[in-house]
Structure 1
Amino acid sequence: MTKSEFAALHRPGDPLVLFNVWDAGSAVAVAKAGARAIATGSHSVAGAQGYADGEHMPFARLVETAQQIADAVDLPITIDMEAGYATNLADLGRNASALAHAGVIGCNLEDRLIRAGGLRAIDEQVERIAAVSAEGLFVNARTDIFLVPMKAGKDPNQVEMVHAAIERAAAYQRAGADCFFIPGLSDSDLIAQLCDNVALPVNVMRLPDMAHNAELARLGVARISYGGAPWHDAMAGVTAAAKAAFSHEG
């Protein structure tokens, strides 16, 4: 599948649903369930390798995982590369190229400052998006405007945050972004407002208090991600089964 064909899967009203995977085995399972594309989540991939999220896993491991997934499934693959595992544009471009050569068609690229906290300045993130786009990847430009406060226990469903996100979306589109990812935003009215004011396809991440997928489609969402939930659920099942097994020892 070409990048343009992958882009065509992102349709407001008929969103691409991505049930995020973490390795080749989970990718095969999700593909068999009827997926149109395969996507990883950084938290899940890192956790499956024994690392914490936040670019603690070596980038080489991420490329290796991407290659294993590409070898196992015949579907377009998009990889969460967090903030790119690079501080400068040259290294960022090389990392994007490595993923492309592993058989990846797209990536998530976030504007969070992973070590320092907060968000990158728009101008700086624009340069980074352009560097990744230049390597031929479909760039799902993620803004952490909503996720940062959500993780801090605050309500991210604020209209002023939506206005700030719309500003970033316009800049990211000019830089070559292909989709705009807004994890953390869950209010239906605010999602609809953002979709109405952003030219890029909009990607939301499923949260427990969100509307169902059909309603998200009606709001104009073009892509729905499940984030780390599938991995957490799978690991909870393994833990429960192991506890049951160990309880019968002896």
Structure 2
Amino acid sequence: MLVLPNAWDATSAQIVVEAGFPVVATASNAVAAMLGYPDGEGAPWQEMFAAAGRIARAVPVPVTVDAEAGYGMQPRELVDRLLEIGAVGCNLEDTDHRTGGLVEAGAHARWLAAVRAAADDAGVPIVVNARVDAFLPPSGITGPDRVAEAVRRGRLYLEAGADCIYPIGVHRRDDLAALVAELPGPVNGNTGDELDLAALRELGVARVSYGPRFYYAAMAGLRSSVRGLLS
């Protein structure tokens, strides 16, 4: 099981590597916050990629970039930009940040297939972690329909060439177990109240990421320390 404590700048990435992790993953939420923008493609892609490039140059291990929904780029441009900054992997989500809700699954699968084709043409087997946002409130999907929709989308994305499926927002053990069982490929999970690392390993999760969790923990420590100066 690949465990990825996400980084947001060169220093946090170096800390991850020094701890012994073989890969660095960025977290768009944390990178955007560090730059002073909201998550959800609120930051200009140029600034997000510049920050990711600094991370890639700062560490001697592979870097995978949370590229949100691709910033409206055509697949070949996205692949070219990733390779320019030294990244060899990416998260790509199926939320439509412009109109709300989720991108139509078939259209997103075709876009992912074009990303895979562009990477093949470039001769670099970029790892695509396809995020499925059916469990997030903006999707408008509720109850057991979320598992069914995540499976439907995940299968389409795997067929399109994604390497891993990331059903973000899954908190219940039974839901994650169903997804691991029904998706014919690796699944990315997150830890939570019902899901520690041991539970994720037992369920067969292949990849674990933490998003902005460590960034917010670091900022909470800073907030507490500086407020303590005034007391």
Which residue is 1:27 aligned to?
Answer: 13
Deviations along 1:230-249, one digit per CA (max 9) or x if unpaired, are 111000111111111233xx
Query: How many Å separate the matches in 2 of 1:122 and 1:221?
Result: 23
Match of 2:208 among 220, 224, 228: 224
Cα deviation, 1:1-27, whole Å, max 9, x if unaligned, reads xxxxxxxxxxxxxx1111011011100
* Residue 78 (structure 1) aligned to one of 64, 69, 78: 64
Q: Residue 206 of structure 1 contacts residue 227 of structure 1 at CA under 8 Å; is this kept in 2?
A: no
Aligned residue number for residue 8 of structure 1: none
Q: Find the aligned partners of 1:224 and 1:202 in 2 and give their Cα distance.
A: 9
Q: TM-score, normalised by structure 2?
A: 0.92
Question: Counterpart of 2:123?
Answer: none
The answer for the alignment partner of 1:233 in structure 2 is 217
Partner of 2:26: 40
Alpha-carbon distance between aligned partners in 2 of 1:135 and 1:204, rounded to the nearest angstrom? 27
Equivalent position of 2:40 in the other structure: 54
- Over the residues paired in the alignment, what is the CA RMSD in angstroms? 1.7
Amino acid corresponding to residue 157 of structure 2 in structure 1: Y
Which amino acid is the alignment partner of residue 42 of structure 1?
A: S
Aligned counterparts, 1:97-112, within 5 A: 97-112=80-95
Matches of 2:190 and 2:93, distance apart in 1 = 14
What is the CA-CA distance between 1:53 and the residue it aligns to? 0.7
What do the CA deviations read for 1:118-145 (whole angstroms, capped 9, x no partner)?
1111111012212222232211000110
Q: Counterpart of 1:126 in 2: which secondary structure?
A: helix
5 Å-filtered alignment, 1:1-250, equals 15-86=1-72, 90=74, 92-136=75-119, 137-148=126-137, 158-207=143-192, 209-247=193-231
User: For the residues of structure 1 that align with 2:137 and 2:164, how far apart are their CA atoms?
Assistant: 20
Q: Deviations over 1:133-171 (max 9, x none)?
A: 223221100011002369x9x9x6x33211111111111
Amino acid at match of 2:35: Q
Q: Which runs of 5 or more structure 1 residues have no equivalent in the other structure? A: 1-14
Residue 227 of structure 1: how far off its partner (Å): 1.0
1:172 is paired with a residue whose SS is: helix
- Structure 1 distance, partners of 2:116, 2:205, is 22
Q: Percent identity?
A: 40
Q: Distance in 2 between matches of 1:205 and 1:125?
A: 23
Q: Say if 2:102 and 2:133, in contact at 8 Å, map to a contact too.
A: yes
Partner of 1:10: none
SS of residue paired to 2:188: strand
Structure 2 portions without partners, runs of 5+: 120-125
Instruction: Confirm or deny: 8 A CA contact 2:128 2:164 kept in the other structure.
Output: yes
Higher relative contact order (CA 8 A, sep 6+): 1
8 Å Cα contact 2:187-2:206 kept in structure 1: yes
Deviant stretches of 4+, over 3 Å: none
Deviation at 1:37, TM superposition (A): 0.9
User: Following the alignment from structure 1 to structure 2, what is the Cα–Cα distance between the partners of residues 104 and 52?
Assistant: 23
Number of residues paired by the alignment?
A: 225
